[in-house]
Chain A
Amino acid sequence: MSDKSSSRTSTFDRRAFMAGAAGSALVPMTARAVAQDANEPVAQDPSLPVEVTLRVNGKDKRLRIDARTTVLDALREHLKLTGSKKGCDHGQCGACTVLIDDRRVVSCLTLALAAEGQEITTIEGLATDDRLHPMQQAFIDNDAFQCGYCTPGQIMSAVACVKEGHAGNEADIREYMSGNICRCAAYPNIVAAVKQAAPEIMKG
């Protein structure tokens, strides 16, 4: 567990990390505490900065961050990718939704360390060559937002919803888009947008 040479891209074990953070003098295997003597046992102080490499929108980003930093705060505060929003920080609202290895994840409940070695896609990475993703276009066409704050999360969730096969009918879309709160209540328009974009996304 304390082998600092283990692969940086290996899957991070949340339980092992929590044990470490709780004071067992261990360090998460993928995270390396900064400014530690190589022979010294690595301190358990979770406030010591750690180095982590996140792969965001196809690019590797090396960061030195507090080990407790969430993916959301890593994106917003350290990578200046502020498209993903903080609406509750408790996984209750969905505004922070990103894709991690193509699965939708609330980034406020995911530690950055736990996402190392995985592919993170944010709203900023959805459009290609200045061409909007079909879901982005569908949100515009159907006026699927008002204030726009929940929109990045809605769109990331909607892309995953389609790929999961949960956009076959309106009832399914409503159900599987219910993890994302829209306080302006653009819901019927969001359903229409997902319906519009689904065939194009499924075509690839």
Chain B
Amino acid sequence: MTAAAPEPKANMGRPVPRYDATAKVTGRATYASDMPLDNPAYAFLVTSAIAKGRIDRFDLDDARGVRGVIDIITHENAPKLKEAKLFSNGGYAGTTIQPLKSAEIAHDGQIIAVVIAESYEAAREAASRVKVSYTATAPSASFESAGTTTAAAKGQNAQFKEDPVVGDFAKAFEAAEVKLTASYDTPTQHHNPMELFTTSCAWMGDNLVVYEGSQYVYGLKNGVAEQLGIDADKVRVVNPYVGGGFGSRGSMTPRTAIIAGIAKRLNRPIKLVPTRDQGFTIATYRAETRHEIKLGASRDGKLVALRHEGAEISSRPDAYCVGGTKTTTRLYACPNIESLVSIVRADRNTPGFMRSPPEVPYLFALESAMDELAVKLNMDPVELRRINDTTTEPIGGKPYTSRSLMACFDEAAKAFGWSQRSPQARSMSDGDWLLGYGCAATCYPTQMAPSAARVRLQRDGRTRVEVAGHEIGTGAYTVIAQTAAERLGVPLEKVAVFLGDSDLPPAPVAGGSNSTASTCSVVMMVCDQIRQRLFKAVMPSDSIADKAKETVGISPAPSTRAAKGDRPLDIEKAFDALGVGVVEEYGEWKPEGAPLDSFRALHAGQPRFVGGHQMKDKIAYAFGAEFVEVRVNRFTHEIRCPRLVGAFAAGRIINPRTARSQLMGGLIWGMSSALLEATEVDERNARYVNDNLADYLVPVNADVPGVEVIMLSEQDDHINPVGAKGLGELANVGTNAAICNAIYHATGQRIRSLPVRLENIEV
């Protein structure tokens, strides 16, 4: 066993290598832009150089003169598309700003023209020769700009239902023995998945195939069909591998229908490979946020009052928000809580989901404030969490289905060596380096959504599993193969898994960390349908069939041996009895409490999520604790983060190898969100300045010395048949606070604004 493949603990599966490992190390894994096209034309985007105003005219003569140019599409000659409705309003799109519809410009970098040419090189050159005259007006860039509008999220965003409140905050805060009021802010961030936002479209008569890295092939299929005004059955979205998503590919962007429409008009496949910098404005991003936290506590550390107010940037037309108060008001026991989330509209592209959208910014504020409170109380920050730990959430009084927060703190503290910490700030050093230890809690809602799957078993045990799930690096192929192999009792190497194709049975968006819980639950169910058919065939008598039925359920570890005195089922005999060559079953699963229209919505590309705080009579979250060591150079103020230790509990771990990798990557993301990542916004022009991978800092190998991931054994029978909580978005939460808490411990300086760079240190 390598470190990458930890020994499974109780309620963990085997750490088998990835199903798609060989394809990925040999270059045979085909991402969207790798798909062969028959004589494609190449598209290159022209994007707006102003953030607000209108296009007066294009001068295309020079561009059209470039050899190989086929056409240049602007708002004056673009294919007519139907409106794209926002996903939160029953649509599919991440933005309602529809480029090429009029001369109006809503944000910097908006698509204003598409050059089509015989080669990529000619398209690129012609795009650089497109001349545009604008009438520009002064844009509002962000919080500090004139001209923004601010309003409460409640009432304008259909998915933000309420500002959680309980008790009487004002009175309790007034009377509290210890009080803290502090403001925090987090920056704009861009996902920057390695795969660019490419789209290839090919028509065969009236049928369209879209090759595009997507986290939701059914959403994209239905969304593109709606915009083109054609039947969704005529659209197929294919992407067996996705080069990273992190939320950026969850909702439809305008580019897809545009490219599809042009391909239709030209009657030729079109391949679009946008540039890295265009990716900053043609897709979504994590908006900058501001927070004010008020905490009131008794001298012994019990929280008596908590208030969290958040503000988030969105675009002019779209009320996107993440509203993380749903989590921060429920994390700790506290009788008096108040919260408010506001949306500030600016002349920007519409933001969207980015890995742990609500938790990354909102827990930064809360977990920093908890550390500040611990300092005020002269209390160990771990103990402050312990005192305020709870088994029920304070807003609705619902019990957590399971909660291993303090177990995570204890395990991680032990592995980290927290007991070696001297509590006073600026009390530890190593030569020129000030040393700081810090910690924070993480949590992420456990979510599930309806999913379908088809499973086919052959008499030699070969199994084919089909589900339109998504391999974005999470290990989806692997855990689905393991689930089917375990459930059917066939060898893992006989299982073939097909994902990433909207012609397969529908699965929900690969977002909200629901994929494993949703897709593995339906695969379990469909495998059980197969088992039931086989058992019935060889055991026709009612009583035995009933016994078989009983064994076919949702217990964690069934096998074909389960019925009939532990003798394995003779598959061949069952096939003979059935008189068939293959046994194939299709099934649709929905989580407990899913709405009545779940299956209709499933096929229409609209996920019906269940989970988190929105469950009836219970609340489900995964938890973790993160400890970091930082070193701040007392002369250069350079900040280093040599050690990250995280302990996590997330229900059943189907594959400790893929789970560990996600948690490890998450911890590094968390470090990055504290110390590196920020999209700089030019205040005057509402423009992203560092829109490339050299200037938008993401970690490289040298930035990441020591990362330790601890997975706790946890069993939760109240969430979904698999018992899995989803952990792709668990580890990158709280890390930012842990690092700022460690910087405080090292330097005595409290930093409340991210990212922390050496110029922010004032030792």
Residues on A facing B (Cβ under 8 Å): 45, 47-48, 66, 68-69, 73, 76-77, 80-90, 92-93, 95, 122-124, 126-127, 132, 136-137, 139-152, 155, 173-175, 177-192, 196
Contact = CB atoms under 8 A, between A and B. Distances in A.
30 contacts: A47-B121, A66-B119, A73-B120, A85-B194, A85-B195, A85-B243, A88-B693, A90-B692, A93-B276, A123-B26, A126-B26, A132-B22, A132-B26, A136-B25, A139-B21, A140-B17, A141-B17, A145-B25, A146-B662, A147-B195, A148-B473, A152-B27, A155-B25, A174-B701, A183-B246, A184-B244, A184-B665, A188-B706, A189-B661, A192-B3
Contacts of B657: 143
B27 A181 contact: no
Query: DSSP majority for the A interface?
Result: loop
A137 B634 CA distance: 44
Contacts of A174: 701-702, 704-705
A192 B4 contact: yes
In this complex, which of A77, A95, A136 has the most chain B Cβ atoms within 10 angstroms of its Cβ?
A77
B499 interface: no
Nearest to B192: A183
Contacts of A181: 194, 693, 698, 700
A89 B242 CA distance: 18
B194 A186 contact: no
Contacts of A182: 194, 701
B243 A123 contact: no
Nearest to B705: A174
Contact of B25 (A66, A88, A140): A140
B29 interface: yes
Interface in B442-483: 471-475
Contacts of A77: 120
A190 B471 CA distance: 20
Give the size range of B's interface with the partner. 35 or more
Contact of A151 (B24, B36, B66, B701): B24
Contacts of A85: 31, 194-195, 243
B30 interface: yes
Given A148-B243, A175-B702, A189-B661, A93 B27 contact: no
A184 B699 CA distance: 10
B28 A149 contact: no
Interface string B25-59: 11111110110100000000000000000000000
Contact of B24 (A124, A145, A178, A188): A145
A182 B682 CA distance: 28
A132 B21 CA distance: 12
Contacts of B273: 86
A187 B668 contact: yes
B698 A89 contact: no
Contacts of B658: 143, 146
A82 B474 contact: no
Contacts of A149: 31, 193-195, 241, 243-244
B694 interface: yes
Given A47-B66, A90-B693, A183-B193, A147 B243 contact: yes
Nearest to B693: A92
Contacts of B195: 85, 87, 147, 149
A122 B4 contact: no
B26 A83 contact: yes
A140 B22 contact: yes
Interface in B553-599: none
Contacts of B474: 146
Contacts of B68: 47, 66
B28 A83 contact: yes
A199 to B, nearest CB: 15
Contacts of A177: 701
A143 B700 contact: no
4 tightest Cβ-Cβ pairs between the two chains A and B: A83-B27, A149-B243, A147-B473, A146-B473
B665 A146 contact: yes
Given A82-B27, A124-B26, A143 B701 contact: no
A185 B672 CA distance: 10
Interface string B4-21: 110000000000011011
Nearest to B658: A143
Given A90-B693, A92-B693, A177-B701, A82 B30 contact: yes
B276 A88 contact: yes
B227 to A, nearest CB: 27
Contact of A92 (B67, B196, B471, B694): B694
A175 B703 CA distance: 9
A93 B473 contact: no
B731 to A, nearest CB: 10
Interface string B699-720: 1111111110000000000000
B701 A191 contact: yes
Contacts of B196: 86-87
B275 interface: yes
A190 B701 contact: yes
B292 interface: no
Contacts of A140: 17-18, 21-22, 25
Contacts of B360: none
Contact of B693 (A68, A87, A185): A87
Contacts of B119: 66, 69
A184 to B, nearest CB: 5
Given A87-B196, A93-B693, A177-B701, A142 B4 contact: yes
Contact of B244 (A76, A89, A147, A187): A147
Contacts of A143: 2, 4-5, 17-18, 657-658, 660-661
B114 interface: no
B135 to A, nearest CB: 32
A132 B25 CA distance: 9
A185 B25 contact: no
A189 B24 contact: no
